[in-house]
Amino acid sequence: MKRFFLFSALMMPGITAAAQTFAPAPKDSLFYELQGIEVIATRVGKDVPVAHTDLSSEQIARSNYAYDIPSILALTPSVVSTTETGIGIGGTSLRLRGTDPTRLNVTVNGVGMNEPDSHSMYWYDTPDLASSVGTMQIQRGAGTSTNGAGAFGGAVSMTTAALSTKAGGDATFSYGSYNTNKQAVHYSTGMLRDRYIFDLRLSHIGSDGYIDRASTDMKSYMLQGAYYNGGSVLKFVSFGGKTKTYLTYNGTTLSDIAKYGRRYHTSGQYKTSDGPFTLSDGSHVDYYDDQTDNYLQINNQLIFNHTFNNRWSANVTGFYTYGNGFYKQYKDDAWTVGYDNLQAGVDQADLIREKKMRNNRYGVNATGNFSTDVLDLVFGTSLCRYEGPHFGTIDWMDGVEESVYNNFQWYRNQVEKGDYNVFAKATWTVAKGLNIFADLQLRHVDLKVDGVNDNYDWNTGHMQPIAVDESYNFFNPHFGVKYQIASAQDIYASFAASSKEPTRSDFTDRYNFSSLTDNPKPEHLYDFEAGYDYTGRIVSFNANLYYMLYKDQLVPTGIVNDSDDNLNINVPDSYRAGVELTLAVRAAKWLTLGGSATLSDNRIKDYTETIGDKTFNLGDTKIAYSPSAIASAYADFKFGDFSALLNGQFVGKQYLGNGNFDDLSLPSYFVANLNLAYQVSEKVKVGLQLNNILSRKYFSYGYGGSWLNGETLDTRDSWAYFFPQAPFNALANLTVNF
């Protein structure tokens, strides 16, 4: 285990590190060990053949000036991060091995964080989560069995920050480009009467954003309290916050960028005769100031960890998450019939609408752990229920009496989902240097959605009805072997099977594809991996090979619905195959050099593209949003109290759809960053994050589609929207400990 963690620390200093979060005094060691029992079930470590990266609290803090977690993870192997605002704050997301966010499992203290119906992790729904996180582990591939949505490209396992037995706190202040700012304060009581600890963190993050009007206002908190008694810890954790972000998920076109610049977008724009802004065609427009996404989320966890003896330990975690949010949107000249045939007395009118949702998620996780010198056994269960209505209201309608639309809901549907699993996993040291890993999980999912959706069906003259009642039973086995061939070298191989249910929008957005009349199918993954580790005193190296074979994979088409959710379709056969390479060289006591590279081939076999009412067989094509090359490099300098981390990332060309059309693609890009820090005194530290120091103009994400002007692909034309990222920008930080 020590050799593996040494390798991780050498491979990506400043980005990856050993999973140790603290160096407690011996008398406190049991208390600290007890705090981590809840993540044993979702993490891998000692001799488990799963490709992963560990980040400690120190490495997270090094980049945590105000950025969302996807921006912090951007330089870990096989990760591509993007942001709608252009600066890594607000609407951020990440892809791993080309896999989209709905197929990446995210947990905090073993509790699933992905929204159960969309399967996405909306990072700004838990603002400044990075400040509340103690450690993170990023697993690539199917990984190990976990709670919540299936891991189809990877998993991110997080713990909340460890409670300190010493009283104290810190205050953090950041300010930089585009009025980006952060204020945070944290205080811990330390151990009281050898039994109690309380810990509180409050923070605020704001920014104007690089994209015009892409403002972000996020307020968050984390409260922890623990009772410690010998071999037991009872801990209550509550974290969350309130976020208001201007809607920028529509992106912008290349033609608009040429006319108005890279920061332009049309969200909230409406035409008016005396508008203060003039478009290129001479028309006047203005912008609705409250075109925003508003969300409140509160996550509560009650965690009980107990160690019976040096072999047995257990965890029970009860959890409840409450969410309440809405989009507020101005619609110019909206067809009133499209609002459930609202009797407005006019065919078209300007209006302001709200698309609302409520979330209630609750359940319990329970695990037991048995450990000897040759065997680690973990077994347990997770039971989770989710309930959430989706509905829409109208706030204002031009020229229409308020009584017509007041208390009027133009759509409403109810989502109910149950997610239950039982699992057992074991790591067995068969002989010196030889370890076998097995992980078996049974998972049951039931999904019900009833009501009407927000899509108006012009053929029937009614809102789209929803009637989903599906149940799924999945068996997810994982097997692996790891062998130490020499004192500094290991080889390993593994196989994992994983299955996953469709998302809510996979059902509701089927109407966008006229040829699809059946329900979406669950998807299945068979993940084969093998690797080699070398951990030397100066040089460390890892090579990991993977072949991920899919049946009925739900792949993104490049088209999105009006909430920016990708529209997906099942493809019978597809795969992702590649090699992940990492290298670190300790060139001197004060300098470490290294990097990582992922070279991959991601393909759909015998793909059929549908454009309008025409279909075209295109043979084997590359999967959308899956670059063939991702590479990063870094140089980490440390001179006494001064440190500097220079890093850069290359992301290869990505197609926006599976037809592989060049006019629907993201060009490759390279971006470099520099992090500077100086420890002024024992209690004061200053830092400066310089992003995109070469000021490259690039797009990190986009979407689009095609239409036909005739009968063949030669007559195809396209539309596309892109998300420009900020040129050179900076963020300064001051941290004071007390």
Give me the CATH number covering residue 90.
2.40.170.20
pLDDT digits (tens, 9 = 90+) for 648-686: 999 999 999 999 999 999 999 999 999 999 999 999 999
pLDDT tops 80 at residue 30 = no
Rounded CA gap, 583 and 691, in Å? 24
Q: Where are the beta strands (DSSP E) in 277-347?
A: 277-278, 284-287, 292-307, 312-335
Mean pLDDT of 250-263: 96
Q: Residue 562 has what pLDDT?
A: 63
Q: Rounded to whole angstroms, how far apart are CA atoms 8 and 511?
A: 47
- pLDDT bucket at 563, cuts 50 / 70 / 90: low
Nearest to 648, CA basis, from 594, 726, 702, 699: 594
pLDDT of residue 595: 95
At 29 the pLDDT is 62
pTM of the model: 0.91
Q: Are 720 and 703 in contact (CB under 8 A)?
A: yes
Centre a 10 Å sphere on the Cβ of residue 27 and count the other Cβ atoms it contains. 9
So what's the pLDDT on residue 273? 87
Does position 5 have pLDDT exceeding 60, yes or no? no
Mean pLDDT of 28-46: 74
Judge contact between 299 and 238, C-beta under 8 A: yes
Question: Is residue 560 over pLDDT 80?
Answer: no
| For residue 28, pLDDT beyond 90 | no
Q: What percent of the chain has pLDDT over 70?
A: 94
Predicted pLDDT at 461: 86
CA distance 75 to 97: 13
Q: What is the predicted pLDDT for the residue at 9? A: 35
Q: What is the mean pLDDT of residues 680-694?
A: 97
* Per-residue confidence (pLDDT) for residue 629, from 0 to 100: 98
Tell me 77's DSSP state: T
Three-state secondary structure call for residue 178: helix
Rg, C-alpha atoms of the chain: 26
What share of the chain has pLDDT > 90, as a percent?
Answer: 77
Q: Where are the alpha helices (DSSP H) in 261-336?
A: none
Distance from C-alpha of 433 to C-alpha of 531, rounded to nearest angstrom: 16
Which is nearest to 340 in space by CA: 463, 476, 175?
463
Closest listed residue to residue 688, CA positions, set 649, 726, 650, 729:
729
Domain encompassing residue 17: 2-737
- 552-573 mean pLDDT: 81
The more confidently predicted of residues 274 and 443 is 443
Question: Tens of pLDDT along 82-107?
Answer: 999 999 998 899 999 999 989 999 99
Phi/psi of residue 473, nearest 5 degrees: -125, 120
Does the pLDDT at position 460 exceed 60? yes
- Closest by CA to 622, choosing from 607, 609, 641, is 607
Which DSSP letter does residue 18 get?
-
Torsion sign over Cα 188, 190, 192, 195: positive
Letter for the amino acid at 644? A
Give the pLDDT confidence score for residue 176 in this predicted structure: 97
The answer to whether residues 147 and 113 touch, using CB atoms and an 8 Å cutoff, is no
- C-alpha distances in angstroms, 557 versus 96, 563, 609, 710? 18, 15, 9, 21
Q: What is the mean pLDDT of residues 45-61?
A: 86
Mean pLDDT computed over 220-229: 94
Residue 11: which pLDDT band, with cuts at 50, 70 and 90? Answer: very low
Q: CA 87: distance to chain centroid?
A: 16
Q: Is the pLDDT of residue 31 over 70?
A: no
Q: Which pLDDT score is estimated for 526?
A: 97
H-only helix segments in 640-708:
none
- What is the pLDDT, as a whole number, of residue 24? 40
Residue of 502, 722, 516 lying closest to 610 (CA atoms) = 516
SS3 at position 605:
strand
Lowest average pLDDT, out of 344-348, 554-558, 663-667, 681-685, goes to: 554-558
Output the pLDDT for position 457: 83
d(CA 467, CA 455) in angstroms, rounded, equals 14
63-72, 123-132, 359-368: which has the highest mean pLDDT? 359-368
More confident residue, 453 or 668: 668
Residues whose CB falls within 8 Å of the CB of residue 282, separated by 6 or more in sequence, listed in order:
none
| Average confidence score pLDDT of the chain | 90
DSSP, collapsed to helix, strand or coil, labels residue 126 as: coil
Average confidence (pLDDT) over 186-198? 93
pLDDT of residue 472: 96
Q: Is residue 366 predicted with pLDDT exceeding 90?
A: yes
Give residue 1's pLDDT. Answer: 37
Whole-number pLDDT of residue 320: 98
Look at the chain and report how many structural domains it folds into.
Answer: 1
DSSP class of residue 192 equals: B
Please state whether beta strands 729-737 and 168-176 pair in parallel, antiparallel, or not at all (unpaired). Answer: antiparallel
CA 317 to chain centre: 23
Closest-CA residue to 247 (of 505, 564, 558, 557):
564
Instruction: State residue 510's pLDDT score.
Output: 73
- Which of the four pLDDT bands, split at 50, 70 and 90, describes residue 216? very high
Tell me, what's the pLDDT at 155? 93
pLDDT at residue 164, rounded to an integer = 87
The reported pLDDT for the residue numbered 16 is: 34
State the maximum Cα–Cα separation within the chain, in Å, rounded to a whole number: 82
Query: pLDDT at residue 144 above 90?
Result: no
DSSP 303-318: EEEEE-SSSEEEEEEE
Q: What's the rounded Cα separation, in Å, for the pair 455 and 512?
A: 10
Return the pLDDT at 533: 93
User: SS3 string of 548-590?
Assistant: EEEEEEEEEEEEECCCCCEEEEEEEEEEEEEEEEEEEEEEECC
223, amino acid identity: L
pLDDT above 60 for 8: no
Mean pLDDT value of segment 689-701? 97
For residue 105, which amino acid is it?
N
Read off the DSSP letter of residue 252: B
Strand partners, 592: 636
- Measure CA of the first residue to CA of the last residue in the chain; give whole Å: 35
The pLDDT confidence band at residue 565, using thresholds 50, 70 and 90, is low
Query: According to the model, what pLDDT value does residue 511 have?
Result: 65
User: What is the per-residue pLDDT across 375-397, written as a single tens digit (0 to 9) for each?
Assistant: 999 999 999 999 999 999 999 99
Q: How confident is the model at residue 10 (pLDDT cuts 50, 70, 90)?
A: very low
